[in-house]
Amino acid sequence: MKISKDSRSCELCKIALAIHELSGKLPITMRSKYNKGVRIEKGNVVDMNYTGPILEKVLQSGITQRVTPSNGVYRGVPVCVVPIKNDQGETIAALGVVDITMGIFEDLIQITSRPEIMRLKKRNML
């Protein structure tokens, strides 16, 4: 199996599904430079003609993005999108993981950092 800047969604699907399984079934997106790609959720390919704003940005810049998109399917949900480069260093594809857990952990940290919670911890009440 070889990924190129012309890879179609059907060629990227097996790699994206494997990464989906490895990540504990976090949503995965993947596309090549010249063709739209795949979107995978809950063990299923839900879109075989997918692109998103952060995938497009990474394809143009070649730089990893850890952001919360302001538009698109995953608007408001943290994502990490990485470039896939060939031997010459050219970005040929982009792969994204939608971190549906990140907000939960940030909320827990924020809640447990509240002054009233800290006071209870100091008094051994928690």
CA 94 – CA 83 distance, rounded (Å) = 5
- Which residue positions in the chain have pLDDT lower than 70? 102-106, 112, 117-118, 120-121, 125-126
Arch. (CATH architecture) of 9-100: 2-Layer Sandwich (3.30)
**Which pLDDT score, from 0 to 100, does residue 114 have?**
72
Strand order in the sheet with 28-32: 44-50, 37-41, 28-32, 91-98, 79-85, 65-67
pLDDT tens digit sequence for 94-122: 999 998 876 666 677 777 677 776 676 67
**Which pLDDT score, from 0 to 100, does residue 125 have?**
66
What is the DSSP secondary structure assignment for residue 24, as one 8-state letter?
T
Distance of CA 46 to the CA centre of its chain: 15
